[in-house]
Structures are given as structure tokens and as C-alpha cells.
Structure 1
Amino acid sequence: MEEWERDEAYRQWRASLGVLLSDAGRLAAWQERRYRFAWELGAALTKASGETPALTGPALYGVFLPSTGLCYVGQTRDAERRLNDLPVGESHHLANTVPPELWERVVVVRWPVLLDGAPAGDQKAAADGDEIVTGLALEYLLQLTFTPPLNSRRRHRDGMWRPRNLAASKSRGAVAARNLPGLWALVRTAWLELAECPAPADGTSVVTSPAGRAVFPSALHQDSSPSA
């Protein structure tokens, strides 16, 4: 895309928001519509679905865009809290950069359920560490393997973004990742299954697997905004 096209798209975005926020009634309707969508997406990400229990505890998650593919990877010790907040953006920056109305899918993998199938050495390494370090290690490996663009740069106080050299990282996650090759292989397989599965043909928003789920936000869109 040429720079003038980006500038024009930005002007159109600002103009559209100007219409949606042009008076107190429209502002309230916009607030209600956005929160309703974010609430429904958070529920789809965390609530029980069919025979699959509600998502709690440690998890890895990734957000996909229609043309970009995987744009962001994260991890949490508290899936219910973090995934409900993810589309709202109260404590997570992602929704401020990429509105959840544009997300193509969200993948969630509950890595602890895969531990029993991992080699004994991986299980020992996970037990010797803790949930935080193991989650950081698996998050690091996902970022290193799939290079999501929003994880590949870091903000600086001068207002600029600079690339992150993940391959040279000496973070806790990067160091711990060396001891989890078997668990990582299981996580990668579970991740790809959910990242590549088709959206449900019946218009529902959730596909589940033994290790997690994929949620398709487009199935949650409403054609009309709520009454102000």
C-alpha cells in the first residue's frame, strides 16, 4: 500500500469515528455496541462450550487477522481473567492497536493438559520451574517460530519502535525453552490444529479441541447497534 493510500484510509477511519461519536446519544450507543461485542468475545473465549469446560489457569493465546495471519502471541496464568480482558483492552494494549471487531480468529492452548504426554525430562523441567516460567518459555517459542509482528518490535520512550532480536534473547522464557523440546512439540501441534481449522459452517463461533479452542469473532458481529 502506498503512503497516500494509508493516509486516505486513516482519514476515512477518523471521519467514520467522527460520525459515530458526533453527539452524546451516538457516543453512548458506540460504547454499548463495542462493549457488548467485547463481552461476547470474552465469553466465547472462556465459558464452557459443549463438553469442553470453562478456560481457567495457564494458557497460551494468539490473535489472527484476515490478511496478516498471526499478529500477536501471549501467555497467562489466569486464562479467565486475561481472555475476558483481551478484547476489552482495559489492561491489555492489543485491543487499542487492533480493534477486536477485525480479528479473524483467536487460538487458545491450555498447555498444562499436554504435560502428561510430554517426555519425563520436560515434565521435570516444568516441575522444577513454575507456571510462570513454563508459560514464558512456550510463549517465547511461539513468537520465535511464527514471528507475529506485534511481538517482533518494542516501544521506546522516544516514540519509535525497534525490532526485537528474539533469537538472541536471554530472558527467563528463552533460557527455560531449551529444556522443554517435547512439551513444545505437543504445544506446536495443538496450536497448528486450531490455527488451521476451518470456521464452523453453522455460524457458531467456537471450535474446541482437547487442548483448547479457536474462536471466530466474525460470527459474533451484530447487524444493528443496540438502542441508546
Structure 2
Amino acid sequence: MDDSKVLIIVESPTKAKTISKFLPSTCTVVASKGHIRDLPEKHMAIDVENDFAIEYKVVEGKESLIRDLKKSLKGADRLLLATDEDREGESISWHLLEVLKPKIPHQRMVFHEITKSAIQKALSSGRDLDQNLVQAQEGRRVIDRLFGYTLSPTLWKKLANKKLSAGRVQSVGLRLTVERERQRIAFSQSTYFDAKAELLSSSQQGYEARLTSYQDKILAGGKDFD
């Protein structure tokens, strides 16, 4: 590896401290502490009439962290974004690029274990940002916001309780739970018996016979009450 200075950004301060032990002094590892931008809380922030344009804002309390990241970036020759390799991690990396606007070469640094060999290998095998993952996270975030900010006010009006909320996942989960509970309540407990007999054929071979119908009517069995 050359003597160029590398700035590596991970999500967790603990991970940053561990990773730095495996790298040369030319590498500086810092943490974003999760997302640095998100949708504002006080309004929808999604323009559904304008191709679902999204308004982002810096997460409250992250302003000083961003200043520190920009300061660290000034002394670097290369930037590696080592956030988690999932859609949230990819999104964090994208937001970092949008806010920091680096003028130096930058790539994603990906590893699946925190060992010296894995970190050093990842250092020399960067990749481009995966826009598909970024858009997947953005799509999920937008849908969550549209569901929550559209349905929750209706819930408050109907039930007069602003502590309640509705959402893409929780509302569907609640519906499934309610349907199952209604089935449980409607269930009628019954006593049933299976009738079976151990018989011998004309060739003296044993077999089991089970009563399944009586007077052309099919009888319920144990499986019908599970």
C-alpha cells in the first residue's frame, strides 16, 4: 500500500476503534453514528405531485459530527465508506457523499468479519456505491412515511388517542392478529372420537381400518379440529 492518507467512515464508534488496530497509521477511521440525514419529523417531506421528490434534513444533533467529518476529509487523499453492506448501510454511505461532497476518489469498503485479514483485504478491493440498494432503502422509507403520515391522523380522529400510530408493517400485522383472534373466539370446542379397527385379511395379513363415513356422510376426523 502507498503512503496516501485514507479516511474510512464506519457506522459504529466501537467498530471504528477496533478496525483502526488492523490498519497502518496512514488510515484514519471515524464513525457516522448511523444516519446523518433523514426525513423531517414535522411534515410529510414527500412531494407526491412532483415525482415523489424527497426533502432531507440533517439529523438533529449531527451538525457537529458532520463538521468533524469534513475536517477529517480535508487531510485525506482517498475516502472509503465502510458502512454495513445492506440497504441501510448503502443509504448512509450515499447520504455521506451528498453531504460531504468529497473531491477525492471515494469507494465503498465492504467486509463481513472484523479480522485483520478481512479488513486489509477490503482496504484494497473497494467497489462503487450500489444505487439499487440506495433506492430500495429510499423506497421503503417513502412508503413508511406515506402510510404513517396519512393513516395515523385518521386513527387519532376515530379513536381520539394521539399515542396510536399506523404503518406499513404494524397495521398489516395488527390486521392478521385480529383476524386470528376472531377465529380463536369463534372456535367451538368439541369432543370427537376416531373409530378404527385392527383387522385380518383373508390371507391372514393384518391391516388397520378407519371409519371415515356413515350413511353416505363424511365423518370429521382429528385433523379437522387442529
- Which of the two has greater helix per residue? 1
| TM-score, normalised via structure 1 length | 0.25
- Who wins on radius of gyration, i.e. which is larger? 2
| TM-score, normalised via structure 2 length | 0.26
- Where relative contact order (Cα < 8 A, 6+ residues apart) is larger, the structure is 1
